[in-house]
Structure 1
Amino acid sequence: MDLAFSGWSGILILVVYGLLMLGVGLFTYLKNRNIHESLDEYYLGGRGLGVMVLFFTFFATQYSGNTVVGYPPSAYRQGFEYLVSVPFFIMIIMAYLLFAPRLYKLGKKYNLITPSQWFEKRFKSKAVTILASLLMLYGLGNYLLEQLIAIGQGVSGLTGGTIPYQVGVIFFVIIMVIYGWLGGMRSVAYTDTMQGIALLFGVFMLLIGSIIYFGGLPTSADYMQAYSPEKLGIPDGLGVVNWFSMLILIGIGAAIYPHAIQRIFSAKSERTLKRSFSRMAWMPFITSGVVFIIGIIGINAFPGLSTEESEQLVGMMASTIASKNVIFYWAMVLLFGGVIAAIVSTADSVLLTFSSIVSNDLYGSYINPEASQHKKLLVGKLAGVVAVGILILIAWFPPATIYQIFILKFELLIQIAPGLILGLYWNRLHTKAVFTGMAVGTLVASIVTIFDISVLGVSNGLWGLLLNTGISVVGSLVMSVSVTEENEAKQVIGI
């Protein structure tokens, strides 16, 4: 009996998971009928997420389509150099600990819904708030594009090409919009929990199946030694510099994801937040470490794949393993259902935060300050639909690999870090210095990225961040701050 993923078997899996996600959205809506009347309830789940739900929604934010679908192909192409992907996620947890507990306290004190509100509260500057909001919207749009591409590739791989890439994107975007509109943050968090459990089980079963049927790491190492010795080597000096710069870029950049910050605000208590982070500390080894090994095993399992072909690696490996054994078949069903659900719920989380910034920070603060919460929610939802429509047109023929898209968004998003993090602790941080640093960092990162300029192997976004931070710090030391301004800042950040 052929148990490989193909045709109707793959379609059935997708329909079941789609219906489950719709069911979660409907259940959440029926349980919380006032969800569409309160920004707090819709965007933050009423600030009542417990330890396990918060853990899994953080887990889904950090480990989604770009990890399970995108990281093994990168390991396949780069070899053991890509081991750096594990410390990426360790750095993210370390970056969270720099600011998350303090930001949670201030978010609760001032009833903050979005990170843009923190910029407005701290710096009282329209220019700083709008620039930070635009950078966050760029990062969110970029991340959403990445998830849409991952959805299409995941569906195509799962069904053996029966469902075309583009049809998979459209189908799950419709599912995402419906259940997101119904349940807001709560429905996103609940689906995160569902897919997280399925994903962890499925990834480990994929690893076990890969070792049994493809020979494991020793076999792949022998193959690489014979046919691709460059994949066994260590990076040169410039490569090591690039490693460290990427660790900083991704560690800080992923920690300041706007949708991750909203999860900080959504925690039931500071204790709940810290307990969730303590569990997240183990995930780099359990998740990114495992998918790295799967990518390395894939070098021997499917040798000679082109860049485009390697993007389907996880689907190809799972389909082969599923054809060998009934137990592995159902494990791969759970895995790919979890992968698709993870990607969709992460995409919906990004869309939710995108909508909240448009509705609350741009429309509600500057366009129509008198708007009711219901009207703000409606504007945010409509803006989200328009954004998704534009991104679908781009995702229809994806412009780069998932990993390249993943890296691109950090170059500009990370420019909000000095104002966000330093602003939590330093009373003298000057508004004009923050704006100038953010603007210059954005401009420099954009120029070196657009013209593909590489300086000393350091990532483009990090050069922008270094200039940004330097201008913010030196400018704040040089510019005079009145006693009144310093006391106001002290009152805002004092706990």
Structure 2
Amino acid sequence: MTFNAVTFTVFLVLFVLVTGLGFVASRWRRAQDLNHLDEWALGGRGFGGFVTWFLLGGDLYSAYTLIAVPAAIFSLGAFGFYAVPNAVVLYALGFVFLPRLVRLAHEKGYVTLTDFINDRFKSRTLGLAITITGLLATLPYLALQLIGLEVVFAAMGVKAGPQATWVVGHLPLFIAFGVMAAYTYSSGIRAPALIAFVKDILIYLVVIVAVIVIPIKLGGFGAIFSHAGQAIAAKTHSTDPQGATIGVNASVYATLALGSGMAFFLYPHSITGVFSARGARTVRRNMAVLPIYTVLLGFVALLGMMALAAGIKPLDGNPQFAVPQLLATMFPSWFVGVAFAAIAMSALVPAAIMAIGAGNLVSRNIIQQFSRTAPNARRETRISKIVSVLVKLGALVFVLTLDSQFALNFQLLGGIWILQTLPAVLLGLFVVRFSDSRAVLAGWAVGIVYGTVAAYNVSSSNAHHFGGSTAAPFFLSSPMYIAISALILNLLVTLVWALAARQLRAMRGHGSAPAIEGAGARSENRSAATFSASNTQKESSIS
């Protein structure tokens, strides 16, 4: 695409604005001491319903969401709409377990999900497994945000000529990376929280204008769906494997939506945003109102249909350019600059939170936990800050040295992995007498191994399969999302192992469970209930 001075100027002005907000955020909401992890990484655990709504929305709907969802529609047709029921699932599940988890986090000082696992199961091995899973799942997710930035820069025509050096060719991405790393290091989670206000307002503006103006120019939604259907039919019967769509069925669609939704709030960056909330009541309210974003997501997905109907030919055949090129075709240059800035902000907000979440895992659950020296708040925070920069650097290297399709497949594999931590979380929260960490660890290991092998077998046998993430498990005939089949095996192994271990203890005369465990659990429940009551009263007084 050609360079447009007006588009780039508008983009640059808005980018400079949010950069300033990122640095000013260190003074926002009366930060007591940014050298403490609660303040730097969690905003003092004081974000109310309004701020939390924007923060979680900014975390959920990233640049890659805005680019990849309509790109999936553009490439695969209606199957790409799985992202909409996926969002419904994640809020319903979050409503069930997040308020309780946040209550415990406030009461016991949890910063990461591993903190909860360590406290509940008293197993450093299980905690380390959860930590490593979170880190491996986060890196490709962060890399995809940088890919989203690259798409925006390329769509603006901001790229060097064929004779330019490698460094000059990627200079815009380097600058964006440096700016993001600097204000994240300086302001912590307050930076993405403040930027999320501007980002979400711009995204709503761009999407609402797009779904009004573009259908008018294309002859209405009836014409859009008719022309898009013809384009999809032509792809389906294409002899070119690069252009052909794939056949899917209901079990694939349903399990992909279900599994993706179940996995989201297990990611370290999602937990970081949730733990920043003022309390359980704040989280519960947000889980009730955040589905408003799902309406926006449905409109975003429709942009893929509009690109098909408009006959967009993506740059280099890459469907990720479908939406940027659609916007550039349909709108004046200044509005395109606003739209591209909104997409770029949608990369910066979640990328910053992901880096913070990864930094917390390394500093708190690897270095501090396995260090012989006593924990120190300033040292812990300093390590988190440094790791947050290193994680961004690792994601940048990931993007620049590997093919973007590899990054996408790795992110889908990360989704399979992160879902295997769900049994540990739910059993730890709701099955009070369940404390068999070995059973949970065994289930996690089986799920990870099976999911990895199944994903590899699919992607290696069919390079054009949807991400190599769906296949028929050996115990069923219908294909499904590999993360779900791995989770089923995970739960079966966990429960069978736990029951067998309990039976062995009973045979040896030690009983099925120590009496003191039940007493301790009842005490913990009473303590959590007391905290919940006091916290609710506190939030009511603040409101």
TM over 0.5: yes
SS at match of 2:189: helix
Equivalences for residues 140-219 of structure 1 within 5 A: 140-159=138-157, 161=159, 166-219=170-223
What percent identity do the matched residue pairs reach? Answer: 20
1:326 maps to which residue?
Answer: none
- Which residues of 2 match residues 104-115 of structure 1 at below 5 A? 104-115=102-113
Q: Is 1:477 equivalent to 2:487 in the alignment?
A: no
Match of 2:339 in 1: 335
Unmatched 5+ stretches in structure 1: 324-328
Would the aligned equivalents of 2:273 and 2:353 in 1 still touch at CA under 8 Å? no
Change beyond 3 A, Cα 1:92–1:33: closer
Matched residues in 2 for 1:177 and 1:35: separation?
20
1:488/1:468 CA distance change after superposition, 3 Å = farther
Return 460-469 or 271-280, whichever deviates more: 271-280
Rounded to whole Å, the distance in 2 between the matches of 1:203 and 1:478 is 54
Counterpart code for 1:126:
R
Q: Deviations over 1:341-379 (max 9, x none)?
A: 121111001001000111111111112542422112222
Counterpart AA for 1:124: K
CA distance in 1, matches of 2:454, 2:433: 31
CA distance in 2 between partners of 1:271 and 1:488 (Å): 25
Q: Any residues of structure 2 matched to 1:181-260 within 5 Å, and which?
A: 181-229=185-233, 239-260=249-270
Counterpart AA for 1:102 = R
Match of 2:320 among 307, 311, 315: 311
Structure 2 residue aligned with 1:449 = 455
Aligned to 1:83: 81
Name whichever of 126-135 and 397-406 sits farther off.
Answer: 397-406
Bigger Cα Rg: 2
- Greater displacement, 252-261 / 128-137: 252-261
1:414 has 2:419 as partner: yes
What residue number does 1:8 align with? 5
After superposition, give the CA deviation of every residue in 1:405-445 in whole Å (9 maximum; x if it has no partner). 55332110111101012210102322111111111111111
* Counterparts of residues 15-414 of structure 1 (less than 5 Å): 15-31=12-28, 32=30, 34-159=32-157, 161=159, 166-229=170-233, 239-285=249-295, 287-303=296-312, 305=314, 308-323=317-332, 329-396=333-400, 397-400=402-405, 404=409, 406-414=411-419
What is the TM-score with the length of structure 2 in the denominator?
0.83
Relative to structure 1, the CA distance from residue 368 to residue 398 in structure 2 (aligned partners, 3 Å threshold; closer, same or farther) is farther
Measure, in 1, the Cα distance between the counterparts of 2:524 and 2:447.
26
Answer yes or no: is the 8 Å Cα contact 2:31–2:43 preserved in 1.
Answer: no
Q: Normalised by the size of structure 1, how large is the TM-score?
A: 0.91
Q: 1:92/1:79 Cα in 2 relative to 1: closer, same or farther (>3 Å)?
A: same
**Displacement of 1:219 after TM fit?**
2.1
Cα distance, 1:113–1:176 mapped onto 2, change above 3 Å: same
Distance in 2 separating the partners of 1:421 and 1:80: 33
- Most deviating of 119-128 and 80-89: 80-89
Query: CA 1:35–1:144 in 2, change beyond 3 Å: closer, same or farther?
Result: farther
Deviation at 1:330, TM superposition (A): 4.2
For 1:307 and 1:432, the matched residues in 2 are separated by 50
Work out whether residues 137 and 417 of structure 2, in 8 Å CA contact, stay in contact via their aligned partners in 1: yes
**Counterpart Cα distance in 2 of 1:57 and 1:369:** 35
Distance 1:374 1:10, change over 3 A: farther
Deviation at 1:306, TM superposition (A): 7.8
Give the aligned residue type for 1:483. Answer: A
CA gap of 1:193–1:47, structure 2 versus 1, over 3 A, is: same
For residue 220 of structure 1, report the CA deviation from its aligned partner: 3.0
Matched-pair contact (CA < 8 Å) for 1:74–1:295: yes
The amino acid across from 1:470 in the alignment is: L
Give the partner amino acid of 2:282: T
Please state whether the residue corresponding to 1:256 is helix, strand or coil. Answer: coil
Q: Which amino acid aligns with 1:9?
A: V
Cα 1:369/1:36, change in 2 over 3 Å: farther
CA–CA separation in structure 1 for the residues paired with 2:380 and 2:339: 37
Q: Using the alignment, how far apart are the partners of 1:169 and 1:139 within structure 2?
A: 22
Higher helix share: 1
User: Which amino acid in 1 is paired with 2:6?
Assistant: S
Q: Distance in 2 between matches of 1:159 and 1:35?
A: 42
Alignment of 1:439 with 2:471, yes or no, is: no
Please tell me whether the aligned partners of residues 64 and 148 of structure 2 are also in contact (alpha carbons under 8 angstroms).
Answer: yes
Aligned residue number for residue 467 of structure 1: 489
The amino acid across from 2:122 in the alignment is K
Closer, same or farther in 2 for the Cα pair 1:368/1:378, shift >3 Å? farther
Q: Which deviates the most, 386-395 or 340-349?
A: 386-395
Aligned mates of 2:343, 2:372 — CA distance in 1: 40
When residues 492 and 479 of structure 1 are mapped into structure 2, their CA distance, relative to the original with a 3 A threshold, is farther
Mean Cα deviation higher: 25-34 or 359-368: 25-34
Q: Does the 8 Å CA contact 2:63/2:145 hold for their aligned counterparts?
A: yes
Shift of 1:44: 0.6
- Equivalenced residue count is 485
How far apart, CA to CA, are the structure 1 residues paired with 2:7 and 2:410?
27
Greater alpha carbon shift after TM alignment, 470-479 vs 51-60: 470-479
Q: Are 1:104 and 1:264, in contact at CA under 8 Å, matched by a contact in 2?
A: yes
Q: Distance in 1 between matches of 2:229 and 2:142?
A: 38
Inter-CA distance 293–260: structure 2 relative to 1 (3 Å threshold): same
Contact kept? 2:23, 2:186, Cα under 8 Å: yes
Check whether the contact 1:79–1:231 (CA below 8 A) recurs between aligned residues: no
CA distance in structure 2 between the partners assigned to 1:45 and 1:5 by the alignment: 42
Q: Please state how far the C-alpha of 1:231 moved relative to its aligned partner.
A: 7.3
1:199-256 per-residue CA deviation (whole Å, 9 max, x = no partner) reads 11111112223212233432233324545427799x9996211111112210111122
RMSD: 2.6
CA, structure 1 residues 239+382, in 2 after alignment: closer, same or farther (shift >3 Å)? same
